[in-house]
A and B are shown apart, each in its own frame.
Chain A
Amino acid sequence: MLSIRNLHTSYGLFEALKGISLEVNKGEIVCLIGSNGAGKSTTLMTISGAIRPKEGDIIFDGARISGIKPDEIVRMGISQVPEGRRIFPHLTVTENLEIGAYSVTARRQKEISSRIKKILDMFPVLGERARQPGGTLSGGEQQMLAIGRALMSGPKMLLLDEPSLGLAPIMVSKVFKIIKEINREGVAILLVEQNAHAALHLSKRGYVIENGRITISGTGDELLGNDQVKKAYLGE
């Protein structure tokens, strides 16, 4: 479904991705783990089109999407929950959800309303906060809103950047449960996580990224049993 080949991305003279290749197949949860500054967020931002790659191909559903603008990529079916959530602070919770459906043409208003309803069922607390500015929500509530907003476009694939960051343990397991649920409905997921243990348990396959290069890859279980992964990312 998503196939990345030899992807290079630079910030000025600094090359953050030095030739990344990875695959996400239909219906899979794939995780990308790595230490701070390894290039995880850069990978997701390049897939979303917010940063132009210098070299390499990104193929989604058979079409080459590298170099295409972010709004078109959303329309093709890739949605992102970025690092730090990036809720629009002065839009209300409802407006934040509505804007998530910006790529859905206005004529399909019914579809938008039914999606909002579904998301409020998934996250009842967002319904209680519907008219509050997004910036006034707690970190956990903002994370739910960010996930809900990303689902509003009806994506085929979801990119999640550290969804468990800064959440209490109960919330972390709730967020992981929700990711599983979303995936069960057929949405492919590329998950970036520091919480490697939980992420690998959830994922079918995983990749380890170090200094802009993929160094290890395999199924979730393989990576959980890998000595290097154990030492560096699982703290065992």
Chain B
Amino acid sequence: MFFQQFINGLTVGSVYALIALGYTMVYGILELINFAHGEIYMLGAYLGIIFFGFFTLTGLTSYSLSLSLALTIILSTAFCSAYGMTVERIAYRPLRNAPRLSPLISAIGMSIFLQNYVMLTQGATDKVFPHIFSTGGFTLFGATATHLQTVIILFSLVLMVSLHLFIRRTRMGKAMRATAQDRIMASLVGINVDTVIIVTFVIGSGLAAVAGIMVAMYYGLVNYSIGYMAGIKAFTAAVLGGIGSIPGAMFGGILLGLVESLGAGYISTEYKDAYAFMVLIVILLIRPSGIFKKSAEEKV
């Protein structure tokens, strides 16, 4: 049972990690908890269903499943990035020099707005993502990792490694780190801080979109309210790892998924959501700034 729960936890944890990255990157640069981020993830799930449905209707899915899936992911990611950019532009940028509470309230407002927007346009009932992966999988130590689980884990891993390389190696990645460390100084060396912030939202929202589509495929059901719990969990993951730290968000997400899954398997499924917060409390008591954060200052 341990390995089965481990694989399940790793799957869910990868998704938490992808969402947590968006929280942590935005926090690293703006010191803002982007409450609307969970909703971007939810939008990703809906867009996934809509685009995949469209491709199935037009016959592309039966012609080539992988092409249809790839296009679904690309389009949903692009749309979610556009949503993320728009949220930044209209809800956060005008408040960039306002007291810290103002953008926070604006973020909560954005979250409520997006939930209701989806509820009104898509209805309050669950939407279904069709089963497209065969039920088989790899068997390992008596546990089974389904094809879908394998895809989710590997794809998340690829995205996280790519993000890491982007941040470490590229010119824009360096500009993002500099902006997180000292925004005014970053502008004084010639970095366009607005561009850096936009790129941060684009990347974070894109990762959330992928997470949303994968969850839609994994559970098969999507609802306008799924962004709320996922957002809280991913935020918890980001805080666990040390908010602002990218490796921290990856590690925190996976840890959270494992704890939840193993807790559900060995203790009781009833308190599945509570385990996450118990771990958070314990870790924050031992290391108040999170696992990966060296000091209160270090970000990204």
Q: Which residue of A lies closest to B168 (CB)?
A: A95
- Which one of B181, B184, B190, B298 lies within 8 Å of A102 (CB-CB)? B190
- Which one of B171, B175, B188, B191 lies within 8 Å of A48 (CB-CB)? B188
- Which one of B175, B178, B181, B188 lies within 8 Å of A74 (CB-CB)? B188
Q: Is B187 positioned at the interface, with any CB of A under 8 Å from its CB?
A: yes
Q: Which residues of A contact B182 (CB under 8 A)?
A: 86, 88
Given known pairs A69-B192, A102-B171, A106-B171, the reply for A90 and B177 (CB within 8 Å) is yes
- A113 nearest CB across to chain B (Å): 14
Inter-subunit contact B188/A95 (CB<8 Å): no
Q: Which residues of A contact B108 (CB under 8 A)?
A: none
Interface mask (A49-67 → B, CB under 8 Å = 1, otherwise 0): 1100000000000000000
In the assembled complex, the Cα of A149 lies from the Cα of B185 at a distance in Å of 11
Q: Which residues of B in the span 180-223 have a Cβ within 8 Å of any Cβ on A?
A: 181-182, 184-193
Give how many A-B residue pairs fall within 8 Å (CB-CB).
Answer: 62
- A66 nearest CB across to chain B (Å): 16
Q: Is A153 positioned at the interface, with any CB of B under 8 Å from its CB?
A: yes
Q: Which residues of B in the span 114-143 have a Cβ within 8 Å of any Cβ on A?
A: none
Interface size on A, residues (CB 8 A): 26
Q: Which residues of B in the span 6-23 have a Cβ within 8 Å of any Cβ on A?
A: none
27 A-B residue contacts at CB 8 Å? A48-B188, A49-B187, A50-B184, A50-B187, A50-B188, A69-B192, A70-B187, A70-B190, A80-B188, A82-B185, A82-B188, A86-B182, A86-B184, A86-B185, A88-B177, A88-B181, A88-B182, A91-B174, A91-B178, A98-B174, A99-B174, A99-B175, A100-B189, A102-B190, A103-B189, A153-B189, A153-B190
* Interface residues of B, Cβ cutoff 8 Å to A: 171, 174-175, 177-178, 181-182, 184-193, 297-298
Query: Given contacts A75-B190, A91-B178, A100-B189, could you give 11 more A-B pairs where the C-beta distance is less than 8 Å?
Result: A69-B187, A74-B190, A82-B188, A86-B185, A91-B181, A98-B174, A99-B174, A99-B189, A99-B191, A102-B191, A153-B189
